[in-house]
Amino acid sequence: MKLTTLMASAALALGFAGGAIADGHEKTKVGFVYVGPVGDGGWTYEHDKGRQAVEAEFGDKVETVFVENVAEGPDSERVMTQMALDGADLIFTTSFGYMDPTNNVAAKFPDVKFEHATGYKRLHPNVSTYSARFYEGRAIQGHIAGNMTKSNIIGYIGSFPIPEVIRGINSAYIHASKVNPDVEFKVIWVYTWFDPAKEADAAKVLIEQGADVVLQHTDSTAPQAAAQEAGNVVTFGQASDMGQYAPFPRVSSIIDDWAPYYIARTRAVMDGTWEQKDTWDGIGPGMVGIGEISDAVPADVKAEALALKDALADGSYHAFTGPLNKQDGSPWLADGETADDGTLAGMNFYVEGIEGEIPQ
Amino acid sequence: MIRLEKRPQPSKAMSWATPLLAVVATMIFGGVLFAALGKDPIQSILTIFWEPLFGEFSFFYRPQLLIKGAPLVLIAIGLALGFKAGIWNIGAEGQYIVGAICGAAAGLAFYPIESVLIFPLMVLSGALGGCLWALIPGFLKVKFGTNEILVSLMLVYVAEQLLASMSLGLLKNPEGFGFPGSRNLQQYPSAHNAELIAGTGMHWGVVAALIAVIFAYIMLTRHKLGFAIRVTGEAPRAAKFGGVNPARLILFCLGASGLLAGLAGMFEVAGPAGQISIDFNVGYGFTAIIVAFLGRLNPLGIVAAGLLMALTYIGGDIAQSQLGLPAAAIQVFQGMLLFFLLALDVLTNYRVRFGTGEVAT
């Protein structure tokens, strides 16, 4: 009881501080909670680039703070509380596992705005969620991969069998098999987002099984290095450009670009126009970027890939457009029908043509 | 030539002073490290050690100290029993995970029935799970002479895979939109390990840690079993002649440490963490090894060491966000603590000789 009262009074004090911000007297304080180190070269690195963009955009009108390597669970709850107590006006929590902690802390600090990446729980009016439609990037990858493979075997390093990752596999497969009906996907689940040793092992196994294209849904550059060693294997950068492996084996990449969103949300807090929302943006608004397609890709394939990107960006084409069947052959989308966000968000099935089972 | 010579009788006072000296040395060299990073060293050290205890928001941090320290103490107490006898359970992290899985599973099996019996049942299954997981290396050691260090450590990775599989399969929240992770036990009153007095951080895990400390203290100082443990560690042959059954001692030490680690996991998942998820474990089982040694394998020392480690974690996070210290610098700082402790231990037990001739190499 006592703690709640103290929290409430602390929050109240912050509320007054918030008033000062509106007058332009004080800096807006934006906190970031990271699950990995800022130097991971992937997921957290890109979030931190977003933070730096916020600083560059608003200069001394804003103060940003961050804590890296924060474990999901009670540690993240403590770090968020601490940021709120220290006077943060807006806090971005950048890992799926921060979902319940974010909502718990948000309940105690109604005047602080919370933004949770990749989650779906918005239990309080001061919690928003945001994520990116990475599957749009996967469509382009699939298109290039289907054209580039000679062995017709494409390897895929899956992190966890969750909707996010399954969407990516489906999207890549649909577009690879469109240009190359003989293509076959081999998926290895490594049950980690970031573990260079495991990722390298997975890449090597896939290459030994004949894959000459390796797609990854993990964040380290280890698969790139394994492909480089093998010599004739194509890869794509994940989360970050991984440009150090261009032009080959890395022929393109999916880049998370959080900067526009972070700047927009910070501005909304400054203007007092921040409202709860659920954002799921793709290539169009710039949240998903496609890294430069290198010259290792034939010019006509590159042109097609760029056209596909434009079509995805302006909304004239959806990555999941029928006719599509589920793996078991049952119909999913009729000719010309596109998938709704609800189905995509909870996707737990492969599309027809992919072999193997999703581990349960 | 520098060589180490064993002191015939290490100073008793020194062996108690080393942890304090190690903390002081860590503060000094940590300060130098922070200064090299361009941060004010005094302010950095104060932020880590003072801010959580006496700072503006200490009303929030002090309870956090208990939440963070309780699992460390609970696990370290169990480890210390084995370490004292020369039985090295390095896999407490795995036993912690299995305890959490068993505890949570026992609770979730009854969802959404409310009953006062559910929580005690969870405690029992958590303890049993951790205990059985630790008895695997114990049994293999007794039966086949395997090395318990390796087996217990390897079982951590097995437990992690089990955790991932549970989060994605058996224990997955059916209302979680296909995302990994179990139901949140914080929202299931019968299974929730809530604060006993709101705002104090005092939950059943803290109580269990205190009870474990008292039991371990009495056992080690007053009980025959504690005597057997100490003798086995100090003079294994003498212990054998004295009638200590090594196989039973191995099983007892591993089982007891596994039981306590399992309890820690169970209290964590039912309380502060709330749910089984792929990244549920955060390294308490490994940090507890440091805590056990920092506390001189003494139950009371372990309480102090556990709170100190918790303090560096909480203060470290504050320093990160307030002063912009990188997480790696905080980890180096925590590493220094163990390094200086071990270094000072060597100097307590050995004296350095700068000999010239007599040692041939």
Element (H, E) at A215: strand A213-216
- A189 assigned to some structural domain: yes
Q: At CA A74, angle to CA A69 and CA A77, rounded to 5? A: 80
Q: What's the pLDDT score for residue B352?
A: 84
Contact B181 A97 (CB under 8 A): yes
Domain shared by A15 and A143, yes or no: no
Residues shown for chain A: 360
A37 touches chain B (CB under 8 A): yes
Residue A204: CATH number of its domain: 3.40.50.2300
Q: How many domains does chain A have?
A: 2
Contact A78 B279 (CB under 8 A): no
| List of chain A residues whose C-beta atoms are within 8 Å of the C-beta of residue B282 | 71, 73, 75
Interface of B with A (CB under 8 A): 56-57, 59-61, 63-64, 67-68, 161, 164-165, 168-169, 177-181, 184, 186, 198-199, 268, 272-275, 277-280, 282-283, 313-314, 317-318, 320-322, 324, 326-328
Domain shared by A95 and A156, yes or no: no
Radius of gyration (Cα) for chain B, nearest Å?
Answer: 22
Q: What's the pLDDT score for residue A20?
A: 39
> Is the Cβ–Cβ distance between A254 and A288 less than 8 Å?
yes
Q: In whole angstroms, what is the distance from residue B270 CA to residue B193 CA?
A: 5
Q: Which of A101, A132, A163 is the last residue of a domain?
A: A132
Chain A: residue whose CA lies nearest to B163: A191
Partner residue opposite A162 with nearest CB, options B178, B199, B320: B178
Chain B: residue whose CA lies nearest to A360: B169
Average pLDDT, chain A: 89
**Residue type present at position A191:** Y
Contact A31 B321 (CB under 8 A): yes
Domain shared by A161 and A246, yes or no: yes
pLDDT at A17 over 90: no
Q: Which of A132, A149, A173 is the last residue of a domain?
A: A132
Residue A238 is part of which domain span? 134-255+287-345
Domains of chain B (ranges, CATH numbers): 1-39+325-361 (no CATH), 61-323 (1.10.3470)
3-class state of residue B255 by DSSP: helix
| List of chain A residues whose C-beta atoms are within 8 Å of the C-beta of residue B279 | 71-73, 97
Contact A160 B63 (CB under 8 A): no
Structure tokens at B205: 């895990």
Return the closest-CA partner of residue B340 out of B6, B10, B30, B4: B30
Domain shared by A178 and A293, yes or no: yes
- A166 assigned to some structural domain: yes
Domain shared by A72 and A49, yes or no: yes
**DSSP for A14-42?**
HHHHHHHHHTT-S-EEEEEE-SS-TTSSS
Give me the helix-helix angle, B12-36 and B41-49, nearest 10°. Answer: 120
Domain shared by A334 and A222, yes or no: yes
Domain shared by A13 and A52, yes or no: yes
Partner residue opposite B279 with nearest CB, options A66, A97, A346: A97
Contact A65 B274 (CB under 8 A): no
**Interface confidence (ipTM) of the complex:** 0.81
- A261 assigned to some structural domain: no
Q: What residues pair up with A253 in beta bridges, in sequence order?
A: A237, A291
> What percentage of chain A has pLDDT greater than the value 70?
93
pLDDT at A13 over 60: no
Q: In whole angstroms, what is the distance from residue B180 CA to residue A118 CA?
A: 13
Q: Which of A132, A161, A182 is the last residue of a domain?
A: A132
Q: What's the pLDDT score for residue B356?
A: 60
Please tell me the distance in Å from A307's CA to the nearest CA on chain B: 33
| List of chain B residues whose C-beta atoms are within 8 Å of the C-beta of residue A6 | 59-60, 199
- A30 assigned to some structural domain: yes
Domain shared by A139 and A7, yes or no: no
Contact A37 B178 (CB under 8 A): no
Q: How do B3-6 and B350-353 pair as beta strands?
A: antiparallel
> Is the Cβ–Cβ distance between B57 and A78 less than 8 Å?
no
Domain shared by A142 and A126, yes or no: no
Chain A: residue whose CA lies nearest to B274: A73
Q: In whole angstroms, what is the distance from residue A247 CA to residue A97 CA?
A: 35
3-class state of residue A350 by DSSP: coil
Chain B: residue whose CA lies nearest to A73: B273
Chain A: residue whose CA lies nearest to B171: A360
Per-residue pLDDT of chain B (361 residues; tens, 9 = 90+): 678 888 888 788 887 788 889 999 999 999 999 999 999 999 999 999 999 999 888 889 999 999 999 999 999 999 999 999 999 999 999 999 999 999 999 999 998 899 999 999 999 999 999 999 999 999 999 999 999 999 999 999 999 999 988 998 899 888 877 778 899 999 899 999 988 888 888 899 999 999 999 999 999 988 888 888 888 888 888 888 888 888 999 999 999 999 999 999 999 999 999 999 988 999 999 999 989 988 889 999 999 999 999 999 999 999 998 898 998 999 999 889 889 988 888 888 888 888 665 554 4
Structure tokens at A193: 């987002």
Domain shared by A73 and A107, yes or no: yes
Partner residue opposite A86 with nearest CB, options B181, B321, B326: B321
- A73 assigned to some structural domain: yes
Q: pLDDT tens digits for A43-99?
A: 899 999 999 999 999 999 999 999 999 988 889 999 999 999 999 999 999 998 899
- Chain A to chain B Cβ contacts (< 8 Å): 113
Q: pLDDT tens digits for A260-276?
A: 999 999 999 999 999 99
A7 touches chain B (CB under 8 A): yes
Q: At CA A108, angle to CA A280 and CA A43, rounded to 5? A: 35
- A204 assigned to some structural domain: yes
Chain A: residue whose CA lies nearest to B198: A1
Question: Helical H runs in B169-245?
Answer: 204-222, 224-234, 236-241
Domain shared by A181 and A310, yes or no: yes
Domain shared by A169 and A203, yes or no: yes
Q: In whole angstroms, what is the distance from residue A102 CA to residue A91 CA?
A: 9
| List of chain B residues whose C-beta atoms are within 8 Å of the C-beta of residue A65 | 321-322, 324
pTM for this predicted structure: 0.83
Contact B282 A78 (CB under 8 A): no
Radius of gyration (Cα) for chain A, nearest Å?
Answer: 22
Contact A82 B168 (CB under 8 A): no
Contact B168 A160 (CB under 8 A): yes
- A273 assigned to some structural domain: no
- A160 assigned to some structural domain: yes
